[in-house]
Amino acid sequence: LLARLKDPELLTAKGYIGGKWVSEAASGKTFEVTDPATGAVLAELPDLGVEETTRAIDAAYETQKEWAAKTAKERSVAMRKWNDLLLANADDLALILTAEMGKPLAEAKGEIAYGASFIEWFAEEAKRVYGDTIPGHQADKRIVVLKQPVGVVGAITPWNFPNAMITRKVAPAIAVGCTVISKPAEQTPLSAIAIAVLAERAGIPGGVFNVIIGTDGPAIGKELCGNDKVRKITFTGSTEVGRILMRQSADQIKKVSLELGGNAPFIVFDDADVDAAVEGAMISKYRNAGQTCVCANRLYVQAGVYDEFAEKLAKKVSESLKVGSGFEDGVTTGPLIDEQGLEKVKDHIEDALSKGARVVTGGKPDERGGTFFQPTVLTQVTSEMKVAREETFGPVAPLFRFETVDEVIAQANDTEFGLASYFYARDLSRVWKVAEALEYGMVGVNTGLISTEVAPFGGVKQSGLGREGSKYGVDDFLEIKYMCLGGI
């Protein structure tokens, strides 16, 4: 990997605390990062833990007031430079990302651009954190509303978007004057470190953005939640861990933002453009080998177009998807992140088949072995199967048949999750009614791709709290202060 990088310094195996690079853990322990496509060891890193987390919190705490005291424009200028550096180094950052995470190189490059876009966006938004003046309630009073940074933020992120999940949290936080301790997933710390290398080069002061790399997520998380210098926890990952973090944050009434699991329905109505729906399903279902929290998890197809949709989707999947290492030309589907991910996919398919589902294409681990899995389409799927209730997080499209609008809305909403949803229809009245009835934070209508820095990303129900991206994305990192001026 090193030999392929234009700038080998981007592949650094160190933590970053208070502007200093940390090459040794207090515990003396190390851990390895491996390539999921080959199992090859990419780097050996210091396994930072609670002690380093406390140090990072202290550094972030000491820096925060100074950082917040800068003008919004000053923070914005540094962030703009950071954005430019990410884009200028996109090729190297994508190589590192593909190596540690497995997604195809073209998708990794797309992620770097997507990740940088949050820095650009929030560098712009930094200058627009407006307050309010409110007409006074008594003749001698005036009312002013200020928005101020919440303070030190702990940001815990998963492996499926090793770059963008970090920038999406860190950019709005530091734009408004917070400082951050970032805890990337243990599978993909190298991308996080590379972002920090570029933050340092962009002139973001030490202590503003700290990176704790380590394998003991629960202990690091506990310190972030339990240390009263940290005022906010922002997390993307499983609902299970989200619950733990929310519970641990309760003692200090810490603010929390959570982007948790999804169980996205993808509905195709009789009046849909079926070819467009197939295209949308390809993107929504198979991107990142099905490992995104907004991936279509359940595909509901109305009876009138069910057979046509199933046939066209299966044809497209078997003809256009290519499984392999993310570094190979033309590969669309990399390995699953690990053995556990593979087992879940196998289990979901076995369960569905035992209850009457049929495999139209795929259905098995790929002949390459490892954690590669064949892109799969299942038909005759019913709500009794695991695929209806749990997030599969793999390249498996289960097709459910439905008859009426009311029936499919009830089924789509019959889940504790509420992140992304999608549907294809052309009748205008149906489009409005279905969009309003879906209990989800996001609805893609006639599209399978909804993520962008300009729109509010987030879920309802047990999919989370708060929104990331867009003008709303800064709210989660701001406190409202009301000033009542009397005696005027």
Task: List, as own/partner pairs, every contact residues 23-27 make where C-beta atoms lie below 8 angstroms and the sequence separation is at least 24, other chains included.
Answer: 25/49, 25/52, 25/214, 26/51, 26/52, 27/51
Q: Which residues of 111-146 are buried (b: 16+ CB within 10 A; e: fewer)?
A: bbbbbbbbbbbbbebbeebeeeeeeeeeeeeeeeee
Exposure of 215 by Cβ count < 10 A (0-12 exposed, 13-18 middle, 19+ buried)? middle
Minimum CB distance to ligand ADP smaller for 50 or for 185: 185
* CB 60 within 8 Å of CB 152: yes
* Residue 5: count of CB within 10 angstroms of its CB: 18
Least distance between ligand ADP and beta carbon 293 (Å): 9
Q: Which residues of 441-465 are buried (b: 16+ CB within 10 A; e: fewer)?
A: bbbbeeebebbebeeebbbebbbbb
* CB 160 within 8 Å of CB 337: yes
Minimum CB distance to ligand ADP smaller for 129 or for 193: 193
Least distance between ligand ADP and beta carbon 406 (Å): 34
Minimum CB distance to ligand ADP smaller for 233 or for 425: 233
Look up residue 159 and give its two tokens: 């492996």
* Nearest residue to the partner ligand ADP, using Cβ: 221
Least distance between ligand ADP and beta carbon 27 (Å): 17
Contacts of 429 (CB under 8 A, 6+ apart): none
Minimum CB distance to ligand ADP smaller for 106 or for 244: 244
Least distance between ligand ADP and beta carbon 456 (Å): 22
Q: Cα separation of 452 and 116, whole Å?
A: 11
Sign of CA dihedral 363, 365, 367, 372: positive
Exposure of 438 by Cβ count < 10 A (0-12 exposed, 13-18 middle, 19+ buried)? buried
Minimum CB distance to ligand ADP smaller for 202 or for 296: 296
Minimum CB distance to ligand ADP smaller for 315 or for 389: 389
Look up residue 21 and give its two tokens: 């690079």
Q: Cα separation of 346 and 171, whole Å?
A: 37
Least distance between ligand ADP and beta carbon 42 (Å): 18
Minimum CB distance to ligand ADP smaller for 85 or for 465: 465
Could you confirm whether 390 is annotated as catalytic?
no
Q: Which H/E stretch holds residue 300?
A: strand 296-302
Least distance between ligand ADP and beta carbon 177 (Å): 25
Minimum CB distance to ligand ADP smaller for 206 or for 217: 217
* CB 395 within 8 Å of CB 373: yes
Residues lying near ligand ADP in the complex (CB under 6 A):
156-158, 183, 185-186, 217-218, 221, 237-238, 241, 244-245
**Residue tagged 């951050």 (tokens):** 180
Give me the amino acid identity at 33: V
Minimum CB distance to ligand ADP smaller for 221 or for 398: 221
Least distance between ligand ADP and beta carbon 105 (Å): 22
**Residue tagged 């799969």 (tokens):** 376
* CB 299 within 8 Å of CB 399: yes
Active-site residue (options: 100, 223, 259, 468): 259
Q: How much helix, strand and coil, in percent to the nearest 5, is found in the chain?
A: 45, 20, 35
- Pure H helices in 210-291: 217-226, 239-250, 274-286
Least distance between ligand ADP and beta carbon 314 (Å): 29
Look up residue 161 and give its two tokens: 């978007």
Least distance between ligand ADP and beta carbon 242 (Å): 7
Q: Cα separation of 486 and 488, whole Å?
A: 6
Catalytic residue numbers read 259
